């Protein structure tokens, strides 16, 4: 491989480009109709300084099982230390990046005492891999093309570069199956703007396409047909740096069909409603707020509130309370602490702290029923603090003698900055408006000045204008200039 790399680098730029383009396109566009039964569940490839893994269980939507985790971790650790590896690239074969973990197998293992340790081990290995991918100090490009849910979110959402396409379908649907959002959800979803992450974690709602980028879950949005060219361009970088890769991806993005507005449905009045209803620290209070919104004069909001209540009614009451508690705790935790907490929650489920995980997987994934599963307890009121302590209290009998959650020591203190190349957050915009941003001036800002400031800071990144406009419309008011002209922006805390 070393000799092959030296020879490749001596080729002319034209020759290298042709070879790379052919290999990249062939690699990426490999027909899913090909016989993959004899191929490994993860395919690894080297394209000059880029190291590629491709999840290769298309018939299972690339659902993660133990064998895939055991293939991925040593390879990722090897690449993270190799001077020949400049970029890590992750993708999936077929119509999914990764639809999640193979939870049916995990539940089956957890159902018997002799195989239960294997179920706990699955979660430990999965979460450790998620941490390593989030902490690796080399550029990591995750291609979220297609279904990206559950375990697939864990492999991608902490990457330095997260590329969504028109095919992306993002969700953390664990409460639907009597489980709790994991793979770092308590870290990254608690840091999404407002209460959007809380809403997504509790309802399991899906966000698709460009909206995944607009809400900061992905860092970029490009058409799926450009992915092979993107792989070629990144692989051709001789000494790839984060800023170089960001520019290469930006060169491949597509503009929104309607400039100046978001495509997401979670904007405007609906986004205000989400932030209002899901700001509470008790699930019962969230229900109360949604009940108030059912009477809203805006028909779209009243319908949304009714639909959301109906969706929550289908979820496991225990899962809802665990998810909310984890999201609130994770907001002040490091990634390592959040994953460690989620590992304990997963272990408690496996060790019998609740029967809802098995009930949900059987009803939703095996029997595929549309009816509400037989959750136990069946109501929110019955889910007591004593039940929740089974998952969160270190003294819980369901959390004893767990294998240690461990990652390479040199990565434990690694900076985790998943929003570095994403659109500015609402907190960034707020800080600029109130004068606390490092790029703020000494005077107030007009809307045009605010937009200009962020476009310059983000090197005119596609979507910045739309993000600023959407935030200002909900969170700011225009105040008087003392001469009758209302031009200055003021942050509206009461919103």
Cite the active site residues.
Answer: 101, 151, 174, 182
CB 147 within 8 A of CB 57: no
What is the full DSSP assignment across 345-358? HHHHHHTTS-SHHH
CB 222 within 8 A of CB 213: no
Question: What kind and span of H or E run contains 199?
Answer: helix 196-203
* Nearest-angstrom CA–CA distance, 133 and 270: 34
Buried b (16+ CB within 10 A) or exposed e, 38-61: eeebbbeebbbbbbbbbbbbbebb
CB 227 within 8 A of CB 27: no
Strands 476-480 and 42-47, how do they pair? unpaired
- Classify burial at 449, counting beta carbons within 10 Å of its beta carbon; exposed 0-12, middle 13-18, buried 19 or more: middle
Q: Which residues pair with 163 in a beta bridge?
A: 143, 220
Taking every pair of Cα atoms in the chain, the longest distance, rounded to a whole number of angstroms, is: 78
Evaluated on CA atoms 403, 409, 413, 416, the torsion sign reads negative
CB 165 within 8 A of CB 222: yes
CB 247 within 8 A of CB 458: no
Residue appearing with tokens 């029967």: 355
* Nearest-angstrom CA–CA distance, 391 and 406: 20
* Nearest-angstrom CA–CA distance, 265 and 271: 8
Let me know the angle formed at the C-alpha of 244 by 247 and 158, rounded to the nearest 5 degrees: 85
- Classify burial at 457, counting beta carbons within 10 Å of its beta carbon; exposed 0-12, middle 13-18, buried 19 or more: middle
């Amino acid at each position: 491989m070393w000799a092959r790399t030296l020879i490749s680098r001596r080729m002319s730029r034209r020759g290298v480009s042709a070879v790379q383009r052919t290999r990249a396109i062939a690699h990426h566009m490999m027909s899913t109709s090909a016989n993959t039964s004899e191929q490994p569940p993860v395919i690894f490839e080297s394209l000059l300084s880029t190291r590629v893994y491709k999840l290769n269980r298309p018939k299972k939507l690339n659902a993660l099982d133990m064998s895939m985790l055991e293939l991925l971790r040593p390879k990722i650790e090897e690449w993270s230390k190799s001077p020949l590896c400049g970029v890590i690239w992750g993708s999936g074969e077929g119509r999914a990046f990764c639809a999640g973990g193979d939870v049916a197998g995990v539940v089956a293992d957890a159902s018997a005492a002799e195989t239960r340790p294997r179920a706990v081990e699955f979660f430990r290995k999965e979460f450790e891999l998620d941490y390593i991918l989030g902490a690796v100090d080399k550029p990591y490009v995750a291609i979220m093309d297609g279904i990206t849910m559950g375990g697939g979110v864990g492999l991608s959402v902490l990457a330095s570069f997260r590329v969504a396409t028109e095919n992306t379908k993002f969700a953390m649907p664990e409460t639907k199956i009597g489980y709790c959002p994991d793979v770092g959800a308590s870290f990254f979803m608690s840091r999404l703007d407002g209460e959007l992450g809380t809403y997504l974690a509790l309802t399991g709602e899906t966000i698709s396409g460009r909206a995944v980028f607009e809400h900061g879950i992905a860092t970029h949005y490009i058409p799926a047909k450009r992915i092979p060219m993107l792989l070629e361009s990144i692989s051709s970088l001789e000494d790839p740096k984060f800023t170089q890769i960001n520019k290469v991806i930006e060169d491949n993005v597509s503009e929104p069909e309607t400039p100046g507005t978001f495509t997401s449905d979670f904007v405007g009045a609906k986004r205000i409603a989400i932030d209002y209803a899901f700001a509470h620290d008790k699930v019962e209070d969230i229900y109360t707020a949604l009940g108030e919104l059912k009477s809203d004069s805006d028909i779209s909001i009243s319908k949304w509130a009714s639909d959301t209540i109906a969706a929550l009614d289908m979820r496991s009451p225990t899962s809802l309370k665990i998810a909310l508690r984890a999201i609130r705790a994770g907001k002040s935790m490091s990634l390592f602490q959040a994953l460690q907490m989620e590992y304990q929650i997963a272990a408690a489920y496996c060790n019998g702290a609740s029967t809802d995980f098995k009930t949900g997987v059987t009803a939703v994934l095996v029997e595929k029923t549309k009816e509400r599963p037989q959750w136990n307890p069946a109501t929110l009121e019955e889910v007591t603090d004593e039940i929740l302590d089974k998952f969160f209290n270190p003294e819980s009998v369901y959390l004893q003698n767990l294998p240690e959650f461990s990652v390479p020591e040199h990565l434990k203190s690694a900076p985790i900055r998943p929003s570095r190349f994403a659109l500015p957050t609402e907190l960034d915009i707020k800080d600029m408006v109130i004068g606390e941003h490092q790029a703020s001036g000494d005077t107030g800002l007009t809307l045009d000045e605010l937009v200009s400031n962020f476009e310059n800071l983000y090197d005119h990144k596609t979507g910045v204008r739309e993000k600023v406009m959407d935030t200002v419309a909900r969170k700011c008011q225009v105040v008087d200039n003392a001469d009758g002209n209302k031009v200055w922006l003021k942050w509206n805390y009461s919103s």
